[in-house]
Each structure stands twice: as C-alpha cells, then as structure tokens.
Structure 1
Amino acid sequence: MATITDRLGKLPLGSFHYRLLALMGSGIAFEALDTGLIAFVLAKMIGAWNLSPVQIGYISSAGLVGMAVGAIVSGTLADRVGRKKIFVATLGIYALGTGLCGLAWNYESLLAFRFLVGAGVGGQPPVANALMSEYAPVKHRGKMLVLQNSSWAIGWLLAALIAYLIIPKYGWQLAFYIGALPALMVVYVWRILPESAMYLVSRGRHMDAHVLVSKIEQELGVPVGEQPHAEEVQSASTQKFNFIDLWSPLYIRRTICLWVLWFGMVYSYYGIFTWLPSLLVKSGHTLIRSFEFLLYMTLAQIPGYFAAAYFVDKIGRKATMGSLLVVCALSAYMFGSAKSAEDIVLWGCVMSFCNLGAWGITHAYSAEQYPTHARAAGVGWAAACGRIGGIIAPIAVGALMTGSDQYGTVFTMFTVVLAIIAMDIIFLGKETMNKSLDELTERQLVPTRSPAATKSSALDDTKG
C-alpha cells in the first residue's frame, strides 16, 4: 500500500499546488516587503532622525534578532502543533509589528517594534518551506520551492515602488502602514490553508491524513489511494526531535552544511541590500537615484529565480546553486569596483540575479534535509543561524564605513563570504534531486547505518 508521502509525491501538478504556492509565497513576499521597506526607510531616516551608522546597524539587527527567535520558536511549534496554526500566527504578528513601526516615536521604540516584526516574518519561511516541500510532487519539488521563494522579488519590487512613489512625498510612516495590510488576509488564509498531511501522519493521525489527501486526489482527477489499515492506525506513535539530534551522526553533515550556507547567505544579503541605498548615497548619488538603481537590481531578481527554478530540477541543487554563488562572488567584487552608473547597474543586476536565485534554492534544499517530525524545526534552527549572520553584517558594514575606501572594502568582504558558502555547498552538500522526502531523510538511512549511527538512531526512536 502506498504511503501518504508516496501518494503526494506522485501527484500531477494542479490547481491545489498553485493555490498553495500563492498562499505560501505571500508569506515570503511580506518578509521581502519588510526587508526592502526598512532598507529604504533607513536611508531617509539618517537625516530625519540624525541617526549614526552604528544606530542604523542596530535597527537592522533588531529585526534580525526577532527573526532568529521567530525561526526557532515557529519551527519547533510547527512540528508539534501543526504548520497551519503557526503560519497564520506569524502572519498576524508581522502585520501588527509593521503597523506599529509607523507609530514609532523615537529610536528605542523603533528598535522594539522591529524585533516584533522580525519575530513574525522570521517565523514564516521554516513553516512555508516545510508545508510546500511536503505537498509538492517529487519531480517538481525543487521548482515549486524556488518559485515559492521567488515571491521575494515581488515583495522587494513593491518595497522599491513604495520607496520611489510614497516615501519622498508622504513620509516613511505611510510606507509602514501599507506594509501592515496583510493583516486583512489572516482570516482568509486560515479558512483555505490545509494542514500538512505528512505532519498529520507524524502525529499518528493517519485517517485524517488519508481524508485530506483523498480530497486532493479527487480535485486533481487521479484515483484515490487506499485508506490506512487498522493495525497501522493503532500502532501509530508520534516522534520528537530535539536540538541535540541535529548533531547526531545521521544529520551532522547536513546541519553543518545548512548552518554555514544560511549564515553566509543572510550575511551577504542583508549586509548588501540593507546598506545599499545608504552606500550609494555616500558614494555621491542622490537618494532618488539610489532608489532607481535598487529598482533595476530588484527586477533582475525575477529572472534569477526563474532560471534557478528551471535548472534545479534539471541539473540538480548543488550544480545550480554552486554556479550561482561563484558568479555572485565575482559580481560582488566587480560591483565594489564600479565607478560609472552603467557599471553599477550591470554588476548590481548580475549580483542580484545570482544571489536571489541561490536564495531560492537554499530554501528548497533546506526543507529536504530532515524528517517530517523535525523538518520545520531543523530549517528553523538553520534559519536562526542565518539571522545571526544578518545581525552581524549590518554592524560590520557600519564599522567598515569609517575607512577611506569604504565601498571597495565592503564588497571585498562580501566576495570572500560568498566564495566560502559556494565551497560549502560544493563540498558538503548532497544532491537531493528526484528523491522522495522519505528516501532522503528516513529510508536511505536504514541500510547504511554504522553500529554507532544505529545506536544513535535507536536512541532517537526511543525519544519518539
């Protein structure tokens, strides 16, 4: 009898998957909208509030501290109480915090509200990636996860348009109020978002999972699978996954690879794009002109995502992501050396194209590394490690801004970081293309365990 994982993995792409893609993608878009808004708002607030580079760095980092906390808490809770509840909760927290940012009356209040926003948006990716990976057909899983995360470009584009059209004329407060509009979606998302069928199985709710998957099969016009046998339901038991299990022999290589990857990706992305408007202004360009450069770079993200989505299920996760990161490192160096407006746009667009394409694959690849009962938590811890990189990066850039060759020094640093994570995925990563989640995280481990690994796994099973 086919398992729930097998039934879901063999489904054809259809209306259910595209509906889920839109819902999960909205969460990623809101995170990007917030990241973009704070980058553009800070460029405006430098003069309005007389903020120092160090203060700007702390405002950016406050949100990232919240993201780290949100990623760990939401990932852990999503594995225990369900994906649906936590995704809706994080959406509401994000909307509330963003609206409060518009009401901030001083530097300290903005720091507090940025932490709240971070907790909301940081909690969404681990849950969204887990849910999409558990429903996407095997042959299309990489593509669907990359496309889901391509909505980041939509969020950034909206942020750039708001910055270009709203902030100069109506002030930065209105930008935050617009960013709070997702609050209107909370009830709608709760009504139509399904719980993960694989999560239900991991909690011993086999019949509930069968009913849910049967409805999806009927919607997509495929034969309905058999319901679970009575003995399967009666023997069902729930499993637990603790932080220490991330470092067991079965998962330690995956954990190290993901933590280095996430740290470097978030460090480079937030370090570059949070400071980029301010860096361009300090390099002699007007605020409006710097927003224009960012708009071009944001548009370049969209084909970057689609290129990654195409190749990730054709040549694999490692080859696609490794290539993108190598080119991104080279373009970051060239961007730091650019003098003319044309060179800034050219190398900025190449850098943005490659960075965001690699970002999409990072999310897809991460969701394939851990079993169902630990998927959101495992991704959440990796994302939290990434947020630490994001916390450090804006502060590091602020410190480097005091030197004589500020621009070149900053982007040389990012070149080195991007090169390191390219080597990380090339040498530590394992290919996951065209393999079911059970094969990647559970079945493949049984015949290849060493005595030590078997003992560790037995202990893990006892915990479950």
Structure 2
Amino acid sequence: MQTVDINHVIDRDKLSPLQWLVFFLGFLVFFCDGLDTGIIGFVAPALLDDWGITKPQLAPVLSAALVGMSIGAIISGPLADKFGRKKVIVATTLLFAIFTIMCGLATSTQDLMIYRFITGIGLGAAMPNISTIVSEYMPIKRRAFLTGIAGCGFMLGISCGGILSAFLLESFGWAKVIIIGGVIPIILAVFLMLKLPESTQYLVKKNKTQQAQGILEKIQGHPFADNVQFKLATAEANTSDESPVKQVLGKYFWGSSMLWLCCFMSLLVFYLLTSWMPTILKTAGFSTQQFSLIAAIFPFGGVIGAVIMGWYMDKLNPTNVIRYAYLFAFILFIITGFVSSNFILFGISLFLIGALLVGAQSSLLPLSALFYPSTCRAVGVSWMHGIGRVGAIIGAFYGSLIFTFELSLSGIFYILAIPTVISFIALSIKVISEKSKDKQEINTQELA
C-alpha cells in the first residue's frame, strides 16, 4: 500500500486549477466580508441625517456587528473542526448576506442593531475559516504570500463600499446601497456550495479517504495507485490525542496570547477608523464624496501593504515582518497628527498608515495559520480573530466618545498611536519567546 503525505501533493511549484479556484473563491469571500463589514460606516452620515438621530445613538448599531463577529469567530473554530470548513463557510456567508439585506429594510435603530448583530456572527465566522482553508491549499513556499493576497479582498471590499457610497448614496439612499452589499454574497454562496472543495487535512483527520483522494488527484492531475493511504506531516499530526482547544490553551498558549493581544489592539484602531472615519471627516468639513473617497484610501493602502508583507513573510521571519510594520505605523500616526491640517499630506499619511496597519492586520491571519498545525488551526485562527474582535467592539464605542470629548483630528491620531505600539510589543515578546524555545530544543538535542 502506498503512503502519501498530502502536503507533498499540495506543495507544487505551479498551482493547479483547483488550487487557483480555492484562492479565487477565498478572495471573493474576503471581499464580501469587507464590503458588508464596512458599508455601514460609509452610509452612517446619511443614516444620521435621514433618521435624525445623534452619533452616540448610532454607536450601538456600529458595535452590534462587532459583538456578533467576536462570537461568530470564537464558535466557528470548533464547529469547523467538527462539521468541516466548507459547511461553516457556506452557511455563514449566507447568514451575513441575508441579514445585510435586512439591515437595508430596517425602520428603527433597534431593528438595525439586531440585524447587524446577526450579520456580525456570519462575518466573524466566515473570515478565519476561509483564511484557514485557503492556507491549507497553498504551497508552503508561497503560503503566506498567497493567503495574504486573498485576504486583500477584505480591504478591497471595504474600499468598494466607500466607492459605492460616493457615487450611489446621494442618488439611491443608504438603504439601497446596503441591500446591494447583501445581494452580492448571496450569489457567491451558491458558487461556494457548488465549487469550493473541503479541506483535505480535515478529510484525512476524519478518515474520509475517498473524498480526500478525489481532491488530491485533481490537484496533481493524475490518479493514485489502487491502494493508497494518506497521512499528515509529522508537525501536523496530533500524537497526544489532545483536543484542538487543549492544544491552543496548552502547548501554544504563550504564542496564542501574544497574537490575541496584538490582534485586539490592531482591530481596536482599525475598526475605530473604518466605523467612524467618514463621520469624523464630515464633522471636519469634508463633503460626502470627499470623505467617502478619503476613507476608502485607508483600507486600499492595506491591499498594497498586505501584498508586500506576504511576499517578505515567505522569505524572512514572518512575525518580524509584521511587528516592524506596527512600529512604523506607530511613527506615522504621530506624524499624521502634525500634518492633519494639510489635506494632501494628511491623505498621503493616511494611505501609508493603511499600508502598514491594515496590511499588518490582514497578515495576522496567515501568520496564525502558519503558527498552528492543522490539528488545531481552525480553533487557533478563529479564536485569535474572535478575541481580537473585542478590541474592535471597544474601538467602535470609543469612536462615539471622540465627539463627546471634542478631540481634534490630530489628537485622535496621537491617541491611536498607543495601541499600535502595544501590537509591536506583543509580537516582539512572541519572537523572543520563540527564540528561547528554539535554544532550549537545540540544547536538549545536544545533550541527547
């Protein structure tokens, strides 16, 4: 009987059509996730005017989705390990699509808050699981780069939400703009149901050999011998029979805790800016088209940053690449505070912050996928994302306080520099910890 390591089939020099399909579908899920995540922030100024409500009254609506995202991310990891990545991805994509449409039909802040909460559950569950399945289909030499590019769909989705708002908001109104954002992922969910393959690592762990064999044969382009047995790489196998949750909270706890802290602080800044930037800029005197386009510059910069970081992550220490991005983002936040009165310099600084901060945030998903073995990857990635979402919730609430304290535009950016440098410190501690662990393993081997 032939024994085949499934990673040897996946680690090809040239991606197969099936691998490109997984990459493309993953990119589209990220895109729709970003579109439906960010669109409420872009339509917020029009919503405030239409309903005649105050900014603090809108804060629970903006944060409701973030609470749902945190819950969705945390529960989706164990669900994906039990029922499969594909089923969770399809179900949650449908969930956030349907309730995004419901948001466009809402007639009160209470209804809108409930619909955004349920939308958030779908959004939070879909992202870490699509990141996991994309990473598991990409060759190891280009895994971080390709997974990072797929993740760029999230920032592009947010940017497209700004573009839609800039050109359709005044003509069609905020409700129809939101409904458009919900129709697109419904169409995508049908394609996911028909075309997205299940994770081969998951299928092998669940002893679904025939399904795994059919997928792997499509990747390599020819059938296996009649008798074939599949195995995971040694690093991917769970020799202790521990549950995925026990692995994350045991062997991988220290690295996990630093990833949680970094993601928490990063998402606090990211969601404060994406949720409230259009309203902040409108308050500062920008027109509807101006604040929509300027706010779209921020996540679009992250697309470029994520591509560059993903390329370097495959060639250098991936944690080092991301932590230095946070350090430079911290410096740029300070600089932006000084140039906030200059429109051109402000726009350039905002773009560069997006490239560093949003690029680093996007790269945390492939970083965590690289950090965990497949036996606990779904739980590890989704828990990092879920705990990080708590920072997003705080960021959304803090955004409403900006107007209460009447902070200047420069003052806002000075304050946002603080959580950014904490992200840098968290990843620095993770690097030091990993170096210490490597030295201990080398010493142990030498003594043996």
The reply to whether TM is greater than 0.5 is: yes
* Equivalent runs, 1:20-99 vs 2, <5 Å: 20-99=22-101
Counterpart CA distance in 2 for 1:152 and 1:430 is 31
Between the aligned partners of 2:284 and 2:363, the Cα distance in structure 1 is 33
Q: Which amino acid aligns with 2:195?
A: I
Which of residues 159, 162, 165 is equivalent to 2:164?
162
Alignment length, in residue pairs? 431
The Cα shift of 1:240 comes to 6.0
SS of residue matched to 1:367: helix
Whether the 8 Å contact between 1:304 and 1:353 is mirrored in structure 2 is yes
Q: Does 1:208 align with 2:211?
A: yes
* Cα distance in structure 2, aligned partners of 1:89 and 1:266: 25
Question: Is contact 1:318-1:431 (8 Å) kept?
Answer: no
Check the 8 A contact 1:207/1:228 in 2, yes or no: no
Deviation (angstroms), 1:244: 4.6
Question: Please, which runs of 5 or more residues in structure 1 have no aligned partner?
Answer: 433-443, 451-464
Q: 2: CA distance between counterparts of 1:119 and 1:54?
A: 23
Query: What amino acid is aligned across from residue 416 of structure 2 in structure 1?
Result: F
1:278 corresponds to: 279
Query: How far does residue 46 in structure 1 lie from its aligned partner after superposition?
Result: 2.0
Structure 1 Cα separation of the partners of residues 78 and 369 of structure 2: 14
Give, as a single letter, the amino acid of the residue that structure 2 aligns with 1:192: K
- Gap change, CA 1:230 and 1:282, over 3 Å in 2: closer
Residue type of the alignment partner of 2:196: L
CA distance in 1, matches of 2:168, 2:348: 26
Structure 1 294/400 Cα, relative in aligned 2: closer, same or farther at 3 Å? closer
2:235 is matched with which residue?
Answer: none
Alignment of 1:124 with 2:126, yes or no, is yes
Aligned 1:105-254 pairs, distance under 5 A: 105-181=107-183, 182-218=185-221, 224=224, 228-229=228-229, 241=243, 243-248=245-250, 250-254=251-255
Alpha-carbon offset, residue 242 of structure 1: 5.3
Deviation at 1:448, TM superposition (A): 8.3
Post-superposition shift, 1:308? 1.7
Distance 1:126 1:231 in 2: 24
How many percent of aligned residue pairs carry the same amino acid?
Answer: 24
Q: Which residue of 2 aligns with 1:409?
A: 411
Cα distance, 1:254 vs structure 2: 1.8
**Matches of 1:449 and 1:45, distance apart in 2:** 62
Q: CA deviation at 1:284?
A: 2.3
Partners of 1:328 and 1:43 lie apart in 2 by 28
Evaluate the alpha carbon distance shift between residue 408 and residue 56 of structure 1 in structure 2; reply closer, same or farther with a 3 A threshold: farther
Q: Is the 8 A contact 2:95 2:119 kept in 1?
A: yes
CA 1:186 to 1:163, structure 2 compared with 1: closer, same or farther past 3 Å?
same
Kindly provide the amino acid, as one letter, of the partner of residue 304 in structure 2.
P
What root-mean-square deviation, in Å, do the aligned CA atoms of Structure 1 and Structure 2 show?
2.7
What is the CA distance between 1:65 and its match in structure 2? 0.9
- Structure 2: any 5+ residue segments left out of the alignment? 233-237
Using the TM superposition, give the Cα deviation of residue 237 of structure 1 relative to its aligned residue in structure 2, in angstroms: 11
Moved more, 342-351 or 97-106: 342-351
Counterpart of 1:441 in structure 2 is none
Cα distance in 1 for residues equivalent to 2:337 and 2:156: 26
- Whichever residue aligns with residue 5 of structure 1, its letter is N
2 CA distance for matches of 1:431 and 1:175? 47
What SS does the corresponding residue of 1:372 show, helix, strand or coil? Answer: coil
SS at 1:105 equivalent: coil
Cα drift, residue 231 of structure 1: 12
Report the Cα distance in structure 1 between the residues aligned to 2:285 and 2:375, rounded to whole angstroms.
Answer: 52
1:154 deviates by 2.0
Q: 1:449 to 1:386 in 2, by over 3 A?
A: farther
Partner SS, residue 316 of structure 2: coil
Give the secondary structure class of the aligned counterpart of 2:106.
coil
Q: Match of 2:198, SS?
A: coil
Match of 1:459 in 2: none
